[in-house]
Amino acid sequence: MTKTLGEIAALVGGRLAGDAAIEICGATNIEDARASDITFAVEPHLKEAAKCAAGAVILPDTAGVFSKPAVYVKEPREAFARLLEAFTPPLDLPPGISDLAYIGAGVRLGVGVTVMPFAVVDAHAVIGDGVILYPHTYVGQYAEIGAESVLYSNVTVRERCRLGQRCVIHSSAVIGADGFGFTTSKEHIHTKVPQVGNVVLEDDVEIGAHVGIDRATTGSTVIGRGTKVDNLVHIGHNCRIGANNLIVAQTGISGSTVVGDNVTFGGQTGTVGHIHIGGNSVYAARSGITNDMPEGVFCAGFPTQPHQEWLRTQAALKKLPELIKRLRELEKKVAGYEAKKN
| pLDDT tens-place string over residues 5-22 | 999 999 999 999 999 999
Domain boundaries, the chain: 3-87, 96-307, 308-341
What span, in angstroms and rounded, lies between the C-alpha atoms of 293 and 253? 14
CA terminus-to-terminus distance, the chain = 92
The single-letter code of the amino acid at 160 is R
| pLDDT tens-place string over residues 166-206 | 999 999 999 999 999 999 999 999 999 999 999 999 999 99
pTM score? 0.90
pLDDT for res 286: 96
Residues in the chain: 342
What span, in angstroms and rounded, lies between the C-alpha atoms of 170 and 157? 12
Rounded average pLDDT per 10-residue block, the chain, 342 residues: 95 96 96 96 95 97 94 97 94 92 98 97 98 98 98 98 98 98 96 97 98 98 98 98 98 98 98 98 97 97 92 90 92 84 72
What is the overall mean pLDDT for the chain? 96
pLDDT for res 121: 98
CATH topology of domain 3-87: 3.40.1390
| pLDDT tens-place string over residues 269-280 | 999 999 999 999
pLDDT for res 82: 96
SS3 247: strand
Percent of the chain with pLDDT over 70: 100
The reply to whether CATH 2.160.10.10 applies to domain 96-307 is yes
Whether the ω angle into residue 90 lies within 30 degrees of 0, i.e. cis, is: no
- C-beta separation of 164 from 145 below 8 A: no
pLDDT for res 336: 82
What span, in angstroms and rounded, lies between the C-alpha atoms of 106 and 31? 53
The catalytic position among 170, 188, 234, 237 is 237
Residue closest to 223 by CA, chosen among 213, 231, 233: 213
Active site residue 276: no
